[in-house]
Structure 1
Amino acid sequence: MRGYFSSISLKGYKNIWMKQWKFTLEMKVGKKMEHELAGSLGARRFWSMVKPFLPKVAWLVLAVVLVIGETSLSLIVPLLTMNFVDEMNAVGLNGQTVILLASVFFAQLVMSGFALYTMMYIGQKVVFALRKEAWQRMLHLPVPFFDRHSSGELMSRMTNDTLVIKDFLTMQLIPFFSGIVSIIGSIVLLLAIDWKMTLMMLTVVPASLLVMIPLGRSMYKVSKSLQDETASFQGDLGRVLSDIRLVKASLAEGVEQKVGLSRMAKLFRFGMREGKIMAVIQPLMMSAMLIMLVVIFGYGGMRVSAGTLSAGALVAIIFYLFQIAMPFTQMASFFTQFQKALGASERLETILRAEPEKNAENVDGAVAPAGTLSFQGVSFGYTADKPILKEVNFDAPIGKVTAFVGPSGAGKTTLFSLIERFYVPDDGTIQYKGHSIHRLPLHEWRQKIAYVSQDSPIMAGTIRSNLVYGLTDVPEENMRAAVRHANLESFIASLPDRYDTEVGERGVRLSGGQRQRLAIARAMIRDPEILLLDEATAHLDSSSEKLVQEALEVLMEGRTTLVIAHRLATVRHADQLIVLEEGNVTGAGTHAELLDTHPLYKELVSQQLQFN
């Protein structure tokens, strides 16, 4: 057999790109359902999600003890200060009081440092555990999940959303409880010092809470929308950067600039909505604190002048005022950050609760011939209203070459996706050697397959890491034999670092032919039973195509090979050709048989002869 596809035109690239955009819009139906499911997540579910990722209870207890201990010491300081001021006014400086006050300050400083470190440890453990679980889950999610979510969006969930949760737990949650202790302790001590001034101070608190609660609800909605829009922007950014050559070749800078500016404008609007809420919350808290200060200074000064309150007691009351006001002000931040954490946890839920790929399942169906890879009444569509394959039936003999031909969009590549079990057929079964492929463990089935496409993915890393990608303990001689058969030996030998040469992101430092031969060598190392070739020589010049074709002939020998090709002259010697039209199999046979019996095949051959 000779090469498979001539290179497609720039117009073809644009058409493919537009189809991807259209497909993304269709996938939003599934995404909307996921958001509705996640929307019921509340505080209780937030804690149930975070709880498994918390470190050992001992660390949590230690953090709480340290924070409460630090807060308790801070409550002693105003009492010591009161004694210090009153003693200064009465009998002069008392050295014992000074030493005690300095000791409390030092103990509070040490305990604060340990408390901060403990909280940071807890936060880092939580974010590590969350990312570990999300990463493991994500790697085992089915392909349709990734059809509905862009890579940028998923990266945002793995990085930004986990950090939001970590920051809330470390910087807000534990300090919130220490603030509660500070407020309660300060109020109790204030009541003991002077209950009248305490009641005057507390009149401001209920009025502030009445405003805070509805603002917190509004912040939740705005924060969630802002996080969602940020993830969408990151998705667009990742898409454009990964296909920057296509953007430039298509002169699409202007289009992408408009899309990006539109996303940025939305981010700006959501950011300003958040800013408006914060512009109410922060001044409200500061105003409440200032009102309390005015009341304390005014009324307290009168009491000191009248001799009914000591100067030390007034100083202590002011201290306690700040120990009430500061945590109370921080509560505004706590509630807003909690709403953000709720939004982040909702988005993480779509990963953590998504169903992984099905490993094996019971599938009924007629028994296919033992020596075939068989499709039996297979129907499939990416969306329910648009079937791609319709009642597809064929048998591909084991150890033979079966080629699929037909116009673009007929469903040829979808067949390969179903064989790889990236998707599950809506109806019908796929059988291999008389058994449904869905009854086999997924790992075992995919070990039997190697896939070489027209643009085989190359990972950033070295040539060696790409050759053995997904495999362990590959003998050196096996790797070198595969490289030799793939016509890569002389190229690798010419490189200074040989097999340890970096290929760049997506293999940009290699030519198209070198990438294809590297993919073929990788397939040879896997030693597959089934070989899927999807236009494997498309976009190559004649010299590269010759080298790739020779490598493919070695790889195909003795294997069940399924080929997709538009250049019909290259597959005319296949053992079987299957014609697909609009998702239906309309013909099967050899090249000569189809020329005699199939009008579309004859027309395609005639068109390519005229073109050549």
Structure 2
Amino acid sequence: MADGETAAPPKAGLRELFSYLREHRGVLAIVLVISLVGAGLNLAQPVMVNQVITAVGEGGALTGAVVVLVALVVGAGLVEGVQQYLLGRTAEGVVFGARRRLLARLLRLPIREYDARRTGDLVSRVGSDTTMVRESLTGGLVDALSGALVFVGALVAMALLDLTLLGITLAVIAVAVISVVAVSARVQALTLASQEALGRVAAGVERALSGVRTIRAAGATEREEGALVADAQAAYDLGVRIVRISAVLWPVSGLAVQGAFLAVLGIGGYRVAAGTLSVADLVTFILFLFMMLMPLGTAFNAVITVRSALGALARIHEVLDLPTEDDGESALGRRSTAEKPIEPALPAMVTFDGVSFAYRQGKPVLNEVSFAVPRGSTTAIVGPSGAGKSTLLALIERFYEPDHGTIRLDGIDIRDLPWSELRSGIGYVEQDAPVLAGTIKDNLLLAAPTTGEARCRQVLASVNLLDRIEQHPDGLNAVVGDDGVGLSGGERQRLAIARALIGDAPLLLLDEPTASLDGHNERAMHQAIRSAAVGRTVLIVAHRLATVADADQIIVLDAGHVTATGTHTELLTGSQLYRDLARHQLLVGATGASQ
């Protein structure tokens, strides 16, 4: 989409809503049969009332008619209970299906989509938006469809009793129906806007809670609260507008019932007095009238809830319609795994050939980057902040695709490798070293779930973390909170590195692995990396040159360009930028000699 262009609001219709009911066709067929039975039982009740009234007037026996009437009422109640249970279970099944599809899509979106969207807003689609879809089903949609049977049956019975009274009834109801349909069209648009506002609230809360320490330390609590309250106020205002429309619709529904009843009672009473209509037929007609109006009221409710659901459903389908990471793959471009599988025991070689990349059009991060990482070597990438160092690792993982150029792994274009095969051969440690909520063992086994406890301890020891873990009474089963709460920054970093090492991947990508470590643990980590590098290819991004000075080769990156390549000693004499970096970090003296 071009800059400044406004995206069209997402839309969804009844077709999308009914698509969620297809997998429940069997249950809905049973519900339809039960509805037919229930409609028959309900429609038979006014007929029996007519017989009771007639028997009273003629002095006949009442017992049989009363027993049948009671049986009809009880039977109708039992049938309705079963029907409501099946409909409620179906609604829960629909919501589960929607959430399952959403979760599958959310976890597979391209990384660019996460960059462009707020986490809290995505979470709200799984929660509040799917709940609104359920309310549309439990709140009257399927119920209104089953009530249509009673409506039609009552309509036929009323026509047989008195066409004049039926015409009066339909005239009053028609005015109400037209009013409801016309006014409710606004509900869908308002609901979409309301759910978008709630998504902003959820995103704001997620942002504030994840950074609550920073916010409090900066004395920004009141400002953050004000921003969140403003978003909540916008959601409130939209909610009030929806309520205002509903407040108009409900009296219309009530007036239709009252108007139809009073018109039938007045004109019907006059006709009874004139002798053209019996009392029993008038009472029976009124019973059928209420039997017809009850499903009509349910239908009015369904109009509002379905309109609301379609607004929420549009947000759900906005995510479901996004392509996943796998959708970007070309079946013809993929190399068949049987042609040339990657040998796990073979250290990888990475080659960048004329690679350019930009997160935003017109603002390149990498420009014609070319270099080779020999098999079994340790290669460091250094340079000032913003040079594009971390982006190189993200491109190898295929979190993003290069705009130009080719990246090869063992001579194979990584775009020709299936995602699972590519990433199973890479151990990756991000710069922020995320730790997932759960146990230490859960984090370690994320990429290698079958690893034994002995191997876990071995890897933890290699990163100087085993002693710290064993101090906890639960050991490997010790629980850490969101973002690794309970561990220091250095411990989180070391745990992330242990997680990358445990799978024995032939290629290790380490993004600032010692950034959060003190001097003692940095030396221990340096030794761990050197040990892990045996039989592997290691590509490490570093700001602190002391940790990579003994690398087999060092690539100097500046403003997206490779400016020099060589060993530490070679670069001290051959690269002014590297020499400046080393001098600022006190690795060389004023004369340029290595210290």
TM-score (norm 2): 0.90
Aligned to 1:309, what secondary structure does the other structure show? coil
Aligned to 1:526, what secondary structure does the other structure show? coil
Determine if the alignment matches structure 1 residue 518 to structure 2 residue 495.
yes
- CA, structure 1 residues 128+611, in 2 after alignment: closer, same or farther (shift >3 Å)? farther
Determine if the alignment matches structure 1 residue 562 to structure 2 residue 539.
yes
Aligned to 2:438, what secondary structure does the other structure show? coil
The equivalent of 2:562 in structure 1 is 585
Q: 1 CA distance for matches of 2:291 and 2:116?
A: 49
User: Which 10-residue stretch deviates more, 404-413 or 544-553?
Assistant: 544-553
Determine if the alignment matches structure 1 residue 376 to structure 2 residue 353.
yes
Determine if the alignment matches structure 1 residue 336 to structure 2 residue 304.
yes
Aligned to 1:356, what secondary structure does the other structure show? coil
Q: Does the 8 A contact of 1:388 with 1:411 survive in 2?
A: yes
CA-CA distance at 1:222 after TM superposition: 0.6
The equivalent of 1:253 in structure 2 is 221
**Deviation string for 1:521-542 (max 9, x for gaps)?**
2222111211112111223333
Q: 1 CA distance for matches of 2:510 and 2:218?
A: 28
The equivalent of 2:338 in structure 1 is none
**Deviation string for 1:103-124 (max 9, x for gaps)?**
1011111111111111122222
Amino acid at match of 2:171: T
Counterpart pick for 2:40 among 29, 53, 72: 72
Aligned length: 575
Q: 2 CA distance for matches of 1:229 and 1:450?
A: 39
CA-CA distance at 1:243 after TM superposition: 2.4
The equivalent of 2:280 in structure 1 is 312
Amino acid at match of 1:592: T
Q: Does the 8 A contact of 1:67 with 1:175 survive in 2?
A: no
The equivalent of 1:461 in structure 2 is 438
Q: 2 CA distance for matches of 1:610 and 1:397?
A: 26
Amino acid at match of 2:189: K
Counterpart pick for 1:82 among 24, 27, 50: 50
Determine if the alignment matches structure 1 residue 267 to structure 2 residue 238.
no
User: Which 10-residue stretch deviates more, 385-394 or 441-450?
Assistant: 385-394
Amino acid at match of 2:492: R
The equivalent of 1:42 in structure 2 is 13
Amino acid at match of 2:69: L
CA-CA distance at 1:418 after TM superposition: 0.6
Counterpart pick for 2:460 among 483, 491, 494: 483
Counterpart pick for 1:390 among 352, 367, 377: 367
Q: 1 CA distance for matches of 2:547 and 2:412?
A: 32
Q: Does the 8 A contact of 2:21 with 2:94 survive in 1?
A: no
The equivalent of 2:344 in structure 1 is none
Determine if the alignment matches structure 1 residue 448 to structure 2 residue 434.
no
The equivalent of 1:286 in structure 2 is 254
The equivalent of 1:572 in structure 2 is 549
The equivalent of 1:12 in structure 2 is none
User: What is the CA RMSD across the aligned residues, in angstroms?
Assistant: 2.6
Aligned to 1:387, what secondary structure does the other structure show? strand
Q: Does the 8 A contact of 1:516 with 1:548 survive in 2?
A: no
CA-CA distance at 1:424 after TM superposition: 0.8
Amino acid at match of 2:205: L
User: Which 10-residue stretch deviates more, 410-419 or 478-487?
Assistant: 478-487
- CA, structure 1 residues 200+128, in 2 after alignment: closer, same or farther (shift >3 Å)? same
Q: 2 CA distance for matches of 1:532 and 1:256?
A: 37
The equivalent of 1:474 in structure 2 is 451
Gaps of 5+ in 2: 336-346, 590-595
CA-CA distance at 1:181 after TM superposition: 1.7
Counterpart pick for 2:168 among 178, 200, 212: 200
Greater relative CO, 1 or 2 (CA 8 Å, sep 6+) = 1
User: Which 10-residue stretch deviates more, 268-277 or 66-75?
Assistant: 66-75
CA-CA distance at 1:360 after TM superposition: 6.6
CA-CA distance at 1:93 after TM superposition: 6.1
Q: Does the 8 A contact of 1:227 with 1:344 survive in 2?
A: yes
- CA, structure 1 residues 146+498, in 2 after alignment: closer, same or farther (shift >3 Å)? same
Gaps of 5+ in 1: 1-26, 365-369
Q: Does the 8 A contact of 1:520 with 1:555 survive in 2?
A: no
Q: Does the 8 A contact of 1:399 with 1:560 survive in 2?
A: yes
User: Which 10-residue stretch deviates more, 532-541 or 459-468?
Assistant: 532-541
Q: 2 CA distance for matches of 1:131 and 1:574?
A: 48
- CA, structure 1 residues 31+479, in 2 after alignment: closer, same or farther (shift >3 Å)? farther
The equivalent of 1:23 in structure 2 is none
What is the identity percentage for the equivalent residue pairs of Structure 1 and Structure 2? 35
**Deviation string for 1:209-250 (max 9, x for gaps)?**
332222122111111111122122212212222222232233
The equivalent of 1:175 in structure 2 is 143
